[in-house]
Structure 1
């Protein structure tokens, strides 16, 4: 009897020891996996470019100048900082618009594209904007309706500074690009399956955004706008706050209207603001269930698993390349280049490293 008790006691001790050891091993494995993930991320963030990458070249019949190559690389550096924030906070992002198309069709930037766009499901986007300022490098700037009074787009822009930088450390990190560069982050929302609700959502969103835009006009008729905002408050069941700018409150309301439906209420996803503008960018919610990694220049970028459905909705036969007009002047740094030229001239500095010739640098405005 005593020997049986001793055996059971020893067995229990071994079980306890095994349990503790197993727990430590599992814990160590988790730590190792997390360390490997961080190392992989760090290696991606330290991506090296061969010097030949920054030479001008022709792709699909379009010439890409050397500074655009540097701007591309600089934008990728901004993306990798955003990726760190997403990794840290369990946020999934996806390539969006031309960036998604570029990954699928060109394995990088579309040759005539000059910006970088990503998107997030609404729940991830709201988490992102709540942590991004805290977790990004201190010199970065986050622009959205909550951080910048003059910002009027329902998206977030992340940029690597406030002005052109010529210091050596900055130029080294951003591959010789002195200009302010960044990326746009778009929320993708769940769309109500009930068509009447969908129509009502878009109509109300249109009224709210139109009223917000009127508040931005210098000659706005405040009495008339006051009546409009009172009607909006009644329709939406909201109360305006006296101490906050009305335009800001209207944009916040517009954001809430976009986000008012959840996954269980929807079969499809899209961007209500774009749909309101006539873009039929509506996709099955399964298109954003997960991501597939695709090459993008020198890194890998996550693309929605339903990229084929999304790209067909946006671009039709998307694998046939043709040059599309941008919604802004190309290149995006055109105005910054002129500011830099004038600065170099005023300070007697060479523009050689920035592809500004001596003739350009010294010319009169």
Structure 2
């Protein structure tokens, strides 16, 4: 049974996540692995030089070859303060991995499973030249990710009545279909277009923005340095077109009602 000492504030959460990111960056430099800030973390670096004020997570992306090497190396190099969650390690049911702070525990409003505070590490895979095929891949993966989310959802919790009570019907169906089968379908899509052989790449297995995720591999791999919370981190040289692809006019701040954090409580584990 986990004993907690106190609840972390939003600023303490960000500080701990930055601490995880710095350790992740250290491991990547040590082993000559490529990674780049992505999603809201990259947007925060460009627009705010740090966290988006109302955001509370960190996302990075890695070329598939580097991503697989990182997972294989974690056992020997991560200290006891950190853990890695990955489907290939048998301790996670999502098509990406999380580097987790073992000194914290997160209680989520919508999920049954509780972990430590984390950063998301997203693999970047190859994509075909044909945009119709790209759209098909993202649409199919989105369907299977929806099933995966249902398998871990908390019954009776949701942003509206339909989501709250619909889970009582949909979750048993999702569990019957199974997480293993969903992951197999998602992984089958990426195997068709090996990273090394493609002209285009993107976050495919957990790509939330569809074809807007796609980047020319040459521009993606050519990194530039950006500032995030007082530290320098790598970003793809095509960061402007990438951010436009997933957010549109990313310099325009969203309306107040859409400036949401993740609904979770984070606690320091008592020594």
User: Does the pair score TM above 0.5?
Assistant: yes
**Contact between 1:292 and 1:302, CA under 8 Å: does it hold in 2?**
yes
Asked whether 1:158 is paired with 2:94, we answer no
**Contact between 1:120 and 1:188, CA under 8 Å: does it hold in 2?**
yes
Structure 1 residue 303 displacement after superposition: 1.2
Q: Comparing 126-135 with 268-277, which one deviates more in the overlay? A: 268-277
Note closer, same or farther for the CA distance 1:313–1:140 as it changes in structure 2 (3 Å cut): same
Structure 1: gaps spanning 5 or more residues: 1-65, 166-178, 226-245, 345-365
Question: How far apart are the structure 1 equivalents of 2:240 and 2:212?
Answer: 15
SS of 1:292 mapped into structure 2: strand
Note closer, same or farther for the CA distance 1:259–1:276 as it changes in structure 2 (3 Å cut): farther
Match of 1:70 among 4, 7, 12: 12
SS of 1:269 mapped into structure 2: strand
Match of 1:139 among 81, 89, 96: 81
Q: Comparing both structures, which one devotes a greater share of its residues to helix?
A: 1
Note closer, same or farther for the CA distance 1:95–1:256 as it changes in structure 2 (3 Å cut): same
Structure 2: gaps spanning 5 or more residues: 1-7, 107-114, 153-170
**Contact between 1:121 and 1:189, CA under 8 Å: does it hold in 2?**
yes
Match of 2:117 in 1: 181
Structure 1 residue 254 displacement after superposition: 2.4
Question: How far apart are the structure 2 equivalents of 1:145 and 1:103?
Answer: 29
**Contact between 1:139 and 1:160, CA under 8 Å: does it hold in 2?**
yes
Asked whether 1:260 is paired with 2:192, we answer yes
Q: Which has the higher contact order (CA 8 A, sep 6+)?
A: 2
Match of 1:322 in 2: 254
Question: How far apart are the structure 2 equivalents of 1:188 and 1:306?
Answer: 14
**Contact between 1:193 and 1:267, CA under 8 Å: does it hold in 2?**
yes
Note closer, same or farther for the CA distance 1:114–1:257 as it changes in structure 2 (3 Å cut): same
Q: How many residues align?
A: 235
Structure 1 residue 277 displacement after superposition: 7.1
Question: How far apart are the structure 1 equivalents of 2:247 and 2:142?
Answer: 25
Question: For residues 1-365 of structure 1, what are the structure 2 equivalents within 5 Å?
Answer: 67-149=9-91, 151-161=92-102, 163-164=104-105, 180-194=116-130, 198=134, 201=137, 217-218=171-172, 247-248=179-180, 250-252=182-184, 254-263=186-195, 265-273=197-205, 278=210, 280-322=212-254, 324-326=258-260, 328-329=262-263, 332=264, 334=265, 336=266
TM-score by length of 2: 0.71
Question: How far apart are the structure 2 equivalents of 1:106 and 1:271?
Answer: 23
1:88-144 deviation digits (Å, cap 9, x = unpaired): 221111011111011111111111111111111112111112212331112312112
Q: Comparing 293-302 with 92-101, which one deviates more in the overlay? A: 293-302
Structure 1 residue 87 displacement after superposition: 1.4
Structure 1 residue 284 displacement after superposition: 2.0
Query: Which protein shows a greater Rg?
Result: 1
Name the Cα RMSD after superposition. Answer: 3.6
Q: Comparing both structures, which one devotes a greater share of its residues to strand?
A: 2
